[in-house]
Amino acid sequence: MSTIVMFALGVPLTLSMRELIIKKNVTSQISKLIVYQTDAFAEAEIESIVVIPREDHLEIGMEVSAPMESIAQSDIDDLRRLISRNIKQEINLRVEIIPMRVVVSPLTRNKASQ
């Protein structure tokens, strides 16, 4: 009887652990790919990456902060292909881009006080 209970508990736990490992590995790979192999995201900051395993593919959602108009649809398509090739699995990629505008007010020195 205890063997059946152990088996009944072990299978869902094993599947759950497998899903967590997949999510962690893919998230790490995506971050590294973006940082080291793409130029389009050079000025972007990754806010979050969410990976959801499906039967035949992965759903990947990203949220990035980037200057306005700095990331094009073609950049997202290229990133999807790059990730898919590297993890050897089909993916559906959704990227939410939070527009970021950088405004700088430089230090001005009063010539009279110098």
User: Where are the chain's structural domains?
Assistant: 2-101
- Angle (deg, nearest 10), helices 2-37 and 73-87: 130
Ranges assigned E (strand) in 12-90: 45-53, 58-67
pTM above 0.85, yes or no: no
Average pLDDT across each block of 10 residues of the chain; the chain has 114 residues. List them in order: 62 66 77 82 88 89 90 93 90 92 84 58
Are 39 and 74 contacting, i.e. CB atoms less than 8 angstroms apart? no
Amino acid making up residue 12: P
For residue 53, what are the contacts with CB-CB under 8 A and spacing of at least 6? Answer: 19, 22, 23, 59
> What is the model's pLDDT at position 20?
72
**Two structure tokens written together for 31:** 């971050």
> What is the model's pLDDT at position 108?
85
What's 2-101's CATH class? alpha beta
> What is the model's pLDDT at position 113?
54
Reported residue count of the chain is: 114
> What is the model's pLDDT at position 79?
92
Rounded CA-CA distance 50/28 in Å is 11
